């Protein structure tokens, strides 16, 4: 009985935290509603068509992530695509209220029936693959954009890129060398969970995980491009991709927390889009808010439902 009440209390607190995060994100930029009305009235059909496409791409994005999660778990736990999707959404629900979304680990494993310790370690593999792709691909766009639009001093760009290249190479080394050879290190052989979990992946499988991660990154870029187009941000395709890559690159390097993440995203995007028009602030902020709500806000609420349902089911067992 006590366990049941504790689970109910946890679910209630999580829901309240999610609602607070969402209300602060939207309420902070409530003045942009007028901007939305102006844009929607100007070309309503095109605007809503583009936004609908972004929503569909978000669904695709989470299906891709669910398939990647299912693929990563295949040696440890047999999971249907639907169950993998529920696990991913539950992770978003907890991750959105924690610094750098570290709670996503707990959210995902809590919905799994077993092998939770291994699943948490497996998730590190997936997150590392996504970080490698996002940092590497976004850095290329950042260099291109800074060459065309030098918004920062040259020496600053050089320092940032030098540090990023070193960090990226270190991540790649850990991903390819660490996952394959780390379990063979003598003092780690005692850690049976680490050894059994990491040794199960071949280099080919790690490359497949990277390809899934690249597909997710491409979806993110296309979503952002469509929203910028919907909100009348004018630029050629290459410059727009460069701006988006620069924004994602900066966001990768900056620590974030759910309550202020959208502010960081919006301000970073405004900085890199400052040459797109004479007054891009409101439109770019609006695009950032909508992208956050579509890709994180709504999935977090869905994740709360799956997480609560999973905890309630386990409490009855």
> With 80 as the cut, is the pLDDT of residue 207 above it?
yes
User: CB 153: neighbour CB atoms within 10 A?
Assistant: 9
Q: What's residue 109's pLDDT? A: 83
Which residues contact residue 3 at a Cβ distance below 8 angstroms, ignoring those fewer than 6 apart?
315
pLDDT score recorded for residue 7 = 43
Q: Which residue has the tokens 């940092």?
A: 135
Out of 206-220, 225-239, 263-277, pick the least confident: 263-277
Residue 203: which domain range? 2-316
Please compute the mean of the pLDDT values over residues 276-294 and round it to a whole number. Answer: 73
- Mean pLDDT throughout 111-118? 79
pLDDT given for residue 36 in this prediction: 62
Q: How confident is the model at residue 269 (pLDDT cuts 50, 70, 90)?
A: confident
pLDDT at 85 over 50: yes
Task: Give pLDDT, residue 315.
Answer: 44
Long-range contacts of the stretch 105-114 (C-beta < 8 A, 24+): 107/303, 107/307, 108/69, 110/307, 110/310, 110/311, 111/83, 111/86, 111/87, 111/306, 111/307, 111/310, 112/77, 112/79, 112/87, 113/77, 114/77
Mean pLDDT of 139-152: 88
The residue among 304 and 5 whose pLDDT is bigger is 304
Q: What mean pLDDT comes out for the span 290-298?
A: 84
pLDDT of 117 over the 60 cut = yes
**The most confident of 14-23, 148-157, 220-229, by mean pLDDT:** 220-229
The CA-CA-CA angle for residues 227, 230, 236, to 5°, reads 80
pTM of the entire predicted model: 0.82
Looking at residue 218, what is its pLDDT?
96
The answer for residues whose C-beta is within 8 angstroms of residue 161's C-beta and 6 or more apart is 139, 142, 143
**Cα 76 from Cα 267, distance rounded (Å):** 41
Res. 196: pLDDT tops 60:
yes
Residue 293 or residue 189, greater confidence: 293
The segment with the largest mean pLDDT, out of 52-66, 78-92, 103-117, 142-156, is: 52-66
**What pLDDT does 237 receive?**
83
Q: Tens digit of pLDDT for each residue in 241-261?
A: 988 999 889 888 776 555 455
Indicate the pLDDT class of residue 274, thresholds 50, 70 and 90. Answer: confident
Highest mean pLDDT pick, 17-21, 48-52, 129-133, 191-195: 129-133
**pLDDT band, residue 131 (cuts 50/70/90):** very high
Residue 303 has a pLDDT of 82
Split into its structural domains, the chain has a count of 1
Contacts of 3-10 spanning 24+ positions with Cβ under 8 A: 3/315, 4/315, 7/311, 7/312, 7/315, 10/311
Q: Find all residues with CB under 8 Å of 275, minimum gap 6, and list them.
A: 149, 151
Average pLDDT score, the chain: 77
Bigger pLDDT: 201 vs 208: 208
Distance (Å, whole) CA 172 – CA 174: 5
Taking CA 91 as the corner, what is the angle to CA 7 and CA 6, rounded to the nearest 5 degrees?
A: 5
Under 8 Å between Cβ of 105 and 304: no
**pLDDT(282) > 50:** yes
CA distances from 157 to 131, 143, 161, 165, 266 (A): 20, 8, 6, 12, 21
- Residues near 56 by beta carbon (within 8 Å), at least 6 away in sequence: none
């Amino acid at each position: 009985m006590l366990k049941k009440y504790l689970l109910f209390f946890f679910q209630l607190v999580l829901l309240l935290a999610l609602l607070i995060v969402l209300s602060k994100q939207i309420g902070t930029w409530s003045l942009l509603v007028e901007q939305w009305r102006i844009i929607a009235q100007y070309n309503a059909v095109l605007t809503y068509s583009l936004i609908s496409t972004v929503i569909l791409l978000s669904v695709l994005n989470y299906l891709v992530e669910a398939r990647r999660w299912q693929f990563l778990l295949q040696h440890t736990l047999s999971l249907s695509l639907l169950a993998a999707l529920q696990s991913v959404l539950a992770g978003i629900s907890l991750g959105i209220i924690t610094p750098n979304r570290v709670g996503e680990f707990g959210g995902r494993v809590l919905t799994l029936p077993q092998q939770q310790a291994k699943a948490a370690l497996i998730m590190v593999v997936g997150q590392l693959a996504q970080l490698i792709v996002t940092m590497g691909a976004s850095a290329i766009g950042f260099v291109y954009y800074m060459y065309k639009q030098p918004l920062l001093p040259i020496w600053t760009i050089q320092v940032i890129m030098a540090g990023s290249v070193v960090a990226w190479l270190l991540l790649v080394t850990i991903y390819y060398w660490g996952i394959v050879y780390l379990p063979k290190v003598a003092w780690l052989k005692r850690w049976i969970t680490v050894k059994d979990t990491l040794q199960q992946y071949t280099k080919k499988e790690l490359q497949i995980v990277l390809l899934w991660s690249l597909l997710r990154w491409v979806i993110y870029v296309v979503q952002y491009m469509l929203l910028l187009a919907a909100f009348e941000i004018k630029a050629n395709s290459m410059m727009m991709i460069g701006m988006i890559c620069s924004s994602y690159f900066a966001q990768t390097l900056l620590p974030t927390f759910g309550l202020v993440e959208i502010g960081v995203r919006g301000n970073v995007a405004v900085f890199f889009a400052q040459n797109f028009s004479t007054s891009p602030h409101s439109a770019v902020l609006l695009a950032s808010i909508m992208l956050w709500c579509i890709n994180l806000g709504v999935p977090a609420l869905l994740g709360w439902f799956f997480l609560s349902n999973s905890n309630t089911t386990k409490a009855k067992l």
